[in-house]
Structure 1
Amino acid sequence: MITKNIIVRAFIVLINLTSISLFSQKATKPLNILLITADDLGYEAVNSFGRSIPDLTPNMVEFAKEGVQFTEAHTITPICVPSRAIMATGLYGVSSGMMGFIHMKKRVPTTMQVFQDNGYLTGILGKVDHSTPDPNFNWDFSKDFEDLGSGRSPQKYAEYTIEFLNRCKLEERPFYLMINSHDPHRIFHNPDGKKLEGAEEPSRLFSVDDVEIPGYLPKTDRVKLELSHYYNSVRRFDDTFGAVIEAFKNSGLYENTLIVVLSDNGSAFPFAKANCYVASTKTPFYVHYPRHMRKGLVDTEHMISEVDIFPTFLDATGIKIKNKLDGRSILPLLEGGKQRDRDFVIGEIDYKISGKATPIRSYGTKRFRYIFNPWAPTGYRYYNNNEGQINKDIEANHPEYIEYVNFFRHRVLEEFYDVQADPDGSNNLIGDPSFQKEIKKYRKALKKWMKSKNDPVFRMLKNIDKPEKMGEYIQSNFPSKMSLMTKEDQSKEIERRRRASARGLER
């Protein structure tokens, strides 16, 4: 005879089993992925690095307290398109062929394609062309420059984030979402100047009196003015970031989402973006990983880079691919663990947005940085779209800084910096007798890496004693950028330039 106690006990067991089942379902629910990027945000502008003016990035500071911060995170190729391709592929540019504003030489797995193939809803806000290395990929949800107030409207970013998350809930699907602000890219926010269509006012404005000039820039009034406008745009990025994070928290999906935040390269000033100095490659890098992380952890030991992002996402979600990647998962570091061979980062420049190829390579540790400029002996004058009016102002009004401009334009074949004593790269030690042992060691390490990746610049470094040959080597290994594109890609590039020119800026 079944007693009342037996029935009660059986009911309790059933409740417990149901609870365990529900907990198991919740625990094994697919992890969502959110990648947030700033556009040209120098690490020195972020408050948590301790080198910035107060109250510039309050939302990023609060986010860092909730997650994990890496103080030695770097981009590999500090130019928008190739940098974002590395994030998407887990491959160096020399491995994927994405060595500038060109598409990959071969089809390799990309983050968005892999996640879409595994049932994830894929979405992107901003920088769509620049962040999609495979032109044949179609995002499930996509909003770009014009939809987002010229990529500078925190409100629009929040609204479309909410729309995307609601769709994910409705379809009951995990997601991969990439949110790319167009801040603080030039054109900076000038309160007295022309406003980009739909761009919002930052929550705080900065004046020249607020400016802190980093050591890699000359101390002129023009620099102060441009920096004040840059800080306005930095603050607006922080506004966008805060609005997006708030939308996630309100959605109920925040605690099941792995979030990575970084910049695609350094600030849009001379000797930062589109170069291989510390100010070029070093980036703020924050991670929120609700399942496994030490809240408030600041990792100052390990050197990581954007090439590690894709493998980290794969590791966190348990998705497998056959292809070998250049990067490694950083998940063990999020709990305070250790990883070997995290003591150096590579820098790589090939094709910029316009002009001839100017190959640059660097090998950097927390102690020193070696830079190889094979284009320097060719007589080519270096230009890019991140100078603003700074160099022109120097040439017209500041003869005391003319050597600054000359070095920027021409460089030398090799550079070597003591990063601890001189993080801004003011004193080139390449000819200093007391550092020759270290220089030889770093040159050898870079050469070894280049050889392992079949880097076309390896031949140039191998023949460093023949500077007169560098132009010939570059010409044979770096044909015109357009010649590397398919006809379809050439048409897209021409159209991209037309749109950018019509807006008065190169994105």
Structure 2
Amino acid sequence: MQRIYFITLLLCAFGLMMFASSKNKPNVLFITVDDMNWNSIGAYGCQIPEITPHIDRLAEEGMRFEQAYVQASNCSPSRSVFQTSRYPHQSGMRGFFYVEAGFKTLPEVLKESGYITGVINKSADSSLSPDFEKYWDVKIDFKGAEKRSAISYGQQLEEFLSTVEQEKQAFYCVVNVADPHKPFFNDAKSKKQGFDAFVPSKVFSVDEVDVPAFLPDAPKVKQEVLNYYNSVKRGDDCVGAILEVLKKSPYHENTIVIFVSDHGMPLPFAKSSVYPNGIRTQWIVAWPGEVEAGAVNTDNMISAIDFMPTVLDMIGVKPPSGMEGQSFYKAMKRKDLSSSEYVFAQFDENAGGVPRPSRTVLTKKYGYVFNAWATGKYPFKCSADAYASHKYMKAQATSNQEVKERYEHWVYRSVEELYDYEKDPDALHNLIDDPACKDIAEKLRQELESQMQATNDYVLSAFKVRDNLNALNQWMQEEDRKAIQRAEQLRWKRHKNRSGATKGHTQLYQLQLNE
């Protein structure tokens, strides 16, 4: 009896220790916005007054990283990297279909470590497979226009925190704000879908915005840019509501808040491109008493591949093997961090399943791009084709030589590109044929090829024949065949793709090592 009693006491003590340990672990609130350019908020240089006061305040409370990137310039592939620390071609999430992964994602690791996990909005794009329970203890998705409502985001976070209170566990919660994704506020489609019922806290006028240098400065384009910035404002309203709920909760002082955008604005030369306006992101980390308030990091190049190892490092959880990124927690503690001088990013295929594989390697100054599809035979296709700015460029290309050159570059690109992003942040001047840049181009080619070999990138075989357009066309023909097969068979994250409706699809994508 005494032995049983002693064992019972030990088990109770162990349970109390586990409870105390779980209660003292830092929480993680990961806030993302959808399609927001890195420089569209005040803290990152946007000159529109009062555009993002809530995000700016978060930056004042934490550390702002100036050299931050994502690995992919469209939604589901980009978001997968944060949860896996693997490049999209490694996880299989290079498109908008579900995959069968042979490794554990961040929410799975955290669940095993005593965390309660939750996702609010875009649960499909935050998950590799449709087995959501494997990743998320709490999954909350919005109905209809509510995903544009600041009040709704606050209410849903309150609902999640009430579950946390019941379970008495530390939490990892991903909140995905829909704005400024298309349709923008005041777009015809936005009005039709009821999104405009949720009005930004301040509505800007056309005189208060400027057209980015990578787009033509024309009234139709400027109107679309205005609608975009009003959606940025509404996105900031949503972030404000989320942060207000956290600050009123008992979890505020022990919660790490991380803020990013999944990629750039949904207009030509940004989203779906591997230029900085497609892959550069805001990255803010706030943690009361642990991360210096108002700090700015300009030294370290960080990217989505580093998110998972950094989070695990911050909360003291042993990392699993197989991750590609490295923790930059030391940088937040103002300690020396030997981070990579290169960031690698990619685009594989659009949401409909049309492949247009691109790869890039960036330093703080230069960026080299390889477009496997840019043979002149495969015009680029993405959702921006249906938007006002793209339509304007296409129409003007018949009579305006300057617009024609930009439009044709967007649609057909070049197999290789090189930019001095320090002097040319909007990627307007391709230096690949500049003799003065020959050594730089060759160095970055070598770095990209080494990266592709190390990560078993299926695009490597195309890279090796980059000087042979016929070989590239043959490679693309085979990739398109495979993409059509995927579109016809795999379980998709969207209700339709290039093959039509996807409702009856059941197969999961299984990564083949020789792809």
Fold conserved between structures, TM > 0.5: yes
Displacement of 1:378 = 4.9
For 1:145 and 1:287, locate their aligned partners in 2 and report how far apart those are by CA, in whole Å.
26
Match of 2:156 among 152, 156, 160: 160
Displacement of 1:123 = 1.3
**Contact conserved, 1:84 with 1:264, CA < 8 A, in 2?**
yes
**Contact conserved, 1:31 with 1:257, CA < 8 A, in 2?**
yes
Q: Does 1:347 align with 2:360?
A: no
**Contact conserved, 1:40 with 1:184, CA < 8 A, in 2?**
yes
The equivalent of 2:411 in structure 1 is 409
Question: Structure 2 vs 1, CA of residues 485 and 103 (structure 1 numbering), >3 Å: closer, same or farther?
Answer: farther
The equivalent of 1:201 in structure 2 is 199
Displacement of 1:75 = 0.6
- Residues 74-117 of structure 1 show CA distances to partners (whole Å, capped at 9, x for unaligned) of 01111000001111111111211111112235332112222223
Displacement of 1:355 = 4.8
The equivalent of 1:421 in structure 2 is 423
The equivalent of 2:318 in structure 1 is 320
The equivalent of 2:216 in structure 1 is 218
Match of 2:127 among 94, 110, 132: 132
- Residues 292-339 of structure 1 show CA distances to partners (whole Å, capped at 9, x for unaligned) of 322211001111001111111211222224322011112111112222
* Length, aligned pairs only: 477
The equivalent of 1:285 in structure 2 is 283
Aligned-residue CA RMSD in angstroms? 2.4
The equivalent of 2:7 in structure 1 is none
For 2:57 and 2:412, locate their aligned partners in 1 and report how far apart those are by CA, in whole Å.
42
User: Identical aligned pairs, as a percentage?
Assistant: 32
The equivalent of 1:505 in structure 2 is none
Displacement of 1:493 = 4.5
The equivalent of 1:392 in structure 2 is 391
Match of 2:50 among 18, 32, 55: 55
Residue ranges of structure 1 left out of the alignment (5+ in a row): 1-20, 501-507
Q: Does 1:69 align with 2:58?
A: no
Question: Structure 2 vs 1, CA of residues 397 and 78 (structure 1 numbering), >3 Å: closer, same or farther?
Answer: closer
Residue ranges of structure 2 left out of the alignment (5+ in a row): 1-15, 504-515
For 2:264 and 2:187, locate their aligned partners in 1 and report how far apart those are by CA, in whole Å.
23
AA aligned to 2:453 is K
TM-score, L = length of structure 2: 0.87
Q: Structure 1 residues 322-331 or 388-397, which shifts more?
A: 388-397
Specify the SS of the correspondent of 2:89.
helix
AA aligned to 1:338 is D
Q: Does 1:310 align with 2:308?
A: yes
The equivalent of 1:369 in structure 2 is 367
AA aligned to 1:348 is Q
Question: Structure 2 vs 1, CA of residues 485 and 191 (structure 1 numbering), >3 Å: closer, same or farther?
Answer: closer
Q: Structure 1 residues 422-431 or 130-139, which shifts more?
A: 130-139
- Residues 180-201 of structure 1 show CA distances to partners (whole Å, capped at 9, x for unaligned) of 0110000000188615336511
Specify the SS of the correspondent of 2:114.
coil
**Contact conserved, 1:297 with 1:336, CA < 8 A, in 2?**
no
Q: Does 1:31 align with 2:26?
A: yes
**Contact conserved, 1:103 with 1:485, CA < 8 A, in 2?**
no
**Contact conserved, 2:68 with 2:283, CA < 8 A, in 1?**
yes
For 1:355 and 1:169, locate their aligned partners in 2 and report how far apart those are by CA, in whole Å.
42
Question: Structure 2 vs 1, CA of residues 355 and 379 (structure 1 numbering), >3 Å: closer, same or farther?
Answer: farther
Question: Structure 2 vs 1, CA of residues 325 and 478 (structure 1 numbering), >3 Å: closer, same or farther?
Answer: farther
Displacement of 1:171 = 1.9
**Contact conserved, 2:348 with 2:357, CA < 8 A, in 1?**
yes
**Contact conserved, 2:96 with 2:353, CA < 8 A, in 1?**
no
**Contact conserved, 1:102 with 1:481, CA < 8 A, in 2?**
no
Specify the SS of the correspondent of 1:204.
coil
Alignment of 1:447-466 (within 5 A): 447-466=449-468
**Contact conserved, 1:82 with 1:99, CA < 8 A, in 2?**
yes
TM-score, L = length of structure 1: 0.89
For 1:74 and 1:225, locate their aligned partners in 2 and report how far apart those are by CA, in whole Å.
28
**Contact conserved, 1:44 with 1:52, CA < 8 A, in 2?**
no
**Contact conserved, 1:31 with 1:174, CA < 8 A, in 2?**
yes
AA aligned to 1:270 is P
AA aligned to 2:332 is L
Q: Structure 1 residues 286-295 or 73-82, which shifts more?
A: 286-295
Match of 1:189 among 185, 202, 212: 185
AA aligned to 1:472 is Q
AA aligned to 2:344 is I
Specify the SS of the correspondent of 1:480.
helix
Displacement of 1:121 = 1.6
Displacement of 1:458 = 1.3
Match of 1:94 among 89, 95, 99: 89
For 1:47 and 1:447, locate their aligned partners in 2 and report how far apart those are by CA, in whole Å.
37
Q: Structure 1 residues 379-388 or 111-120, which shifts more?
A: 111-120
AA aligned to 1:113 is E
For 2:473 and 2:360, locate their aligned partners in 1 and report how far apart those are by CA, in whole Å.
19
For 1:381 and 1:55, locate their aligned partners in 2 and report how far apart those are by CA, in whole Å.
39
**Contact conserved, 2:97 with 2:490, CA < 8 A, in 1?**
no
For 2:34 and 2:456, locate their aligned partners in 1 and report how far apart those are by CA, in whole Å.
30
AA aligned to 1:143 is I
Match of 1:103 among 87, 95, 98: 98
Question: Structure 2 vs 1, CA of residues 487 and 499 (structure 1 numbering), >3 Å: closer, same or farther?
Answer: closer
Specify the SS of the correspondent of 1:369.
strand
Displacement of 1:481 = 3.1
AA aligned to 2:444 is Y
**Contact conserved, 1:344 with 1:365, CA < 8 A, in 2?**
yes
The equivalent of 1:9 in structure 2 is none
The equivalent of 2:443 in structure 1 is 441
**Contact conserved, 1:189 with 1:195, CA < 8 A, in 2?**
no
Q: Does 1:142 align with 2:125?
A: no
**Contact conserved, 1:150 with 1:197, CA < 8 A, in 2?**
no
For 1:488 and 1:376, locate their aligned partners in 2 and report how far apart those are by CA, in whole Å.
27
- Residues 267-314 of structure 1 show CA distances to partners (whole Å, capped at 9, x for unaligned) of 001010011001000001000123532221100111100111111121
AA aligned to 2:93 is M
Question: Structure 2 vs 1, CA of residues 28 and 450 (structure 1 numbering), >3 Å: closer, same or farther?
Answer: same
Q: Structure 1 residues 200-209 or 47-56, which shifts more?
A: 47-56
